[in-house]
Amino acid sequence: MQFSKRLDRFGEEIFASLNNRRMELEQQGMKIYNMSVGTPDFKTPEHIKKALAEAAMDDDNWKYSLRDLPELLEAVCTYYKKRFDVELTPDMVMTVYGSQEGMGHLGMALCDEGDVVLLPDPCYPVFAAGSLMAGAKPYYYPLVAEHDFLPYVKDIPEEVAKKARYMVVSLPSNPVGSIAAPGLYEEIVEFARKYDILIIHDNAYSDIIFDGAHGGSFLSTEGAREVGVEFFSLSKSFNVTGARISFLVGRPDVIAALRKLRSQIDFGMFLPIQKAAIAALNGPLESVQEQCNMYQERRDALCNGLREIGWDLPNGKGTMFVWARIPGGRTDSMAFCMELMEKAGVIVTPGASFGPHGEGYVRFALVLPPDKIREVIDAIRRSGI
């Protein structure tokens, strides 16, 4: 059977060999520390689980939802005003099954074959996958240490900017851990206005930000609501990753375009999950800040420990990840990850999986408590790497 040439746009899954070797080492009795996948190990708040469980007992909630509940849209609007001081109306909000699904489909609603889009490098892989599924041509703008791993629009060639349909911005950034500097969003808004580019901001980690910094919204910047939309996720803030609860918010015309596309392929978010989302948005937020503090403790344990054994890396500024340059000047991130697993039992993600500028780096996920992280540091030290 001949499959679609569309599949040729995507590379092979690089994690298969890592995972296969992990299982072999575990069967041999080796202790494994898996810091490769960003799945939170904290518990989901009780009031969210209770809301879902109660809603699931109502037979009517097992039917097609066909829409986003008005009370859910209103809860998002209220939350954005309270949390980010951003005014939204219900026509500026829609649910998506996680930001990954939303980003994967949004390009299809925005682009035609051959359109140019601007993507960060390194970046979360679905940014590229979503544009490729739409048939667009990505132009990668680099996130480099010299610019604190932040977008630098002045280096984007004018001939590229004139062709671009949209630009993806992700801050706090997975995988590099950078956060927006003062004035950065204003520069991006001005750039978008000049070249008539839509900004798509991924705001999955605004509640995991360190050292007293404030996690905000791109849409709070003057003019941003006219040039942009934002993906907002409950996954990491409330530990509901498996429920896939995210929203696209911002320009009503963009929301309507994605809603039209998705109406062709699904019948709406499961109603008990919508009820759980309402409980999260309307409920207490103290646990969110407490969790952020615990992530910072993990960040400190990992970064301080790695520096003690000779790694050269700054403290990550946000997200549940740490971006680390491979020691010894090595640039073979996949080979290094295999060696780290073989010799230390520590699994991390190769930087090359996030784009060409990720080569020479690895990403640690902060999914272990500080005492386990200290074990990780000791395992790396004893490995001799």
Which one of 3.40.50.1370, 2.50.20.20, 3.40.47.10, 3.90.1150.10 gives the CATH number of domain 5-43+286-383? 3.90.1150.10
CA 259 – CA 263 distance, rounded (Å): 6
pLDDT tens-digit readout, 102-155: 999 999 999 999 999 999 999 998 899 899 999 999 999 999 989 999 999 999
What class, spelled out in words, does domain 64-282 have in CATH? alpha beta
Walking along the chain (385 residues) 10 residues at a time, the average pLDDT comes out as 80 69 84 89 96 98 96 98 96 95 93 96 90 93 92 95 97 94 96 98 95 94 97 95 96 96 93 98 95 97 95 90 92 92 93 92 96 97 89
Question: Can you give 308-363 as a three-state secondary structure string?
Answer: HCCCCCCCCCECCEEEEECHHHCCCHHHHHHHHHHHHCEECEEHHHHCHHHCCEEE
Q: What is the pLDDT of residue 38?
A: 83
CB contact set of 20 (below 8 Å; sequence gap of 6+): none
Other beta carbons within 10 angstroms of residue 140's beta carbon come to 17
Extended strands (E) in the chain: 33-34, 93-96, 116-121, 137-142, 164-170, 198-203, 228-233, 246-250, 321-325, 346-347, 349-350, 361-365
Q: What is the pLDDT of residue 12?
A: 62
Q: In 3D, which of 217, 380, 235 has the Cα closest to residue 313?
A: 380
Q: What is the largest CA-CA distance in the chain?
A: 60
104: left (phi over 0), alpha (psi -120 to 50) or beta: alpha
Q: Are 231 and 202 in contact (CB under 8 A)?
A: yes
Q: What is the pLDDT of residue 26?
A: 83
Other beta carbons within 10 angstroms of residue 91's beta carbon come to 13
Q: What is the pLDDT of residue 14?
A: 64
Residues paired with 170 in a beta bridge: 202
Q: Can you count the helices (H) and strands (E) in the chain?
A: 14, 12
Say whether 244 sits in a helix, a strand or coil. Answer: coil
pTM, 2 dp:
0.93
In the chain, ranges of CATH 3.40.640.10 domains: 64-282
The Cβ-side half-sphere exposure at 337, using a 13 Å CA radius, reads 27
In the chain, ranges of CATH 3.90.1150.10 domains: 5-43+286-383
pLDDT tens-digit readout, 170-220: 999 999 999 999 999 999 999 999 999 999 999 999 999 999 998 999 999
Compute the C-alpha angle 315/317/319, nearest 5°.
Answer: 115
Sequence letter at residue 141: Y
